Structure 1
Amino acid sequence: MKDFNLFESLDKGLDEAILHAEGKRDVRIRRIKFKERTHYSAEEIKSMRKKL
C-alpha cells in the first residue's frame, strides 16, 4: 500500500476541481446542508461562562 502524501492528495484534488470548472471532467458532487448557527448576545455568553 502506498504511503499517504497530503501534498499529492491536495494537488490532485485541485487539478480535478480545475478540470471540472473548465467543463473537461465530470466529478461526483455532494451537497451538505448545515443547520443555522445559534447566535448569542454578549450577555448570554457572559452568563454561560459564569455558570461553567
Structure 2
Amino acid sequence: MFSLLSLYFAYRRDVVSAERYIAALNKTKTPVADDVTPIPIEEALPLAA
C-alpha cells in the first residue's frame, strides 16, 4: 500500500512540475485570440424522431 501511495505522489509531483515548466515557456506579452469564426446556419436542422 505504501508503494502505491508513493508512486501516486511521485506521479503528481512530476505532473505539477511539468505544468509549471510549460507555463513558464509560454509567457506571451499579448493574449492570443481564438480563431473561431461563426458559421451561419442556412437551413433549419430536421427534428429527431
Give your verdict on TM over 0.5.
Answer: no
- TM-score w.r.t. the length of structure 1 is 0.37
- TM-score w.r.t. the length of structure 2 is 0.39
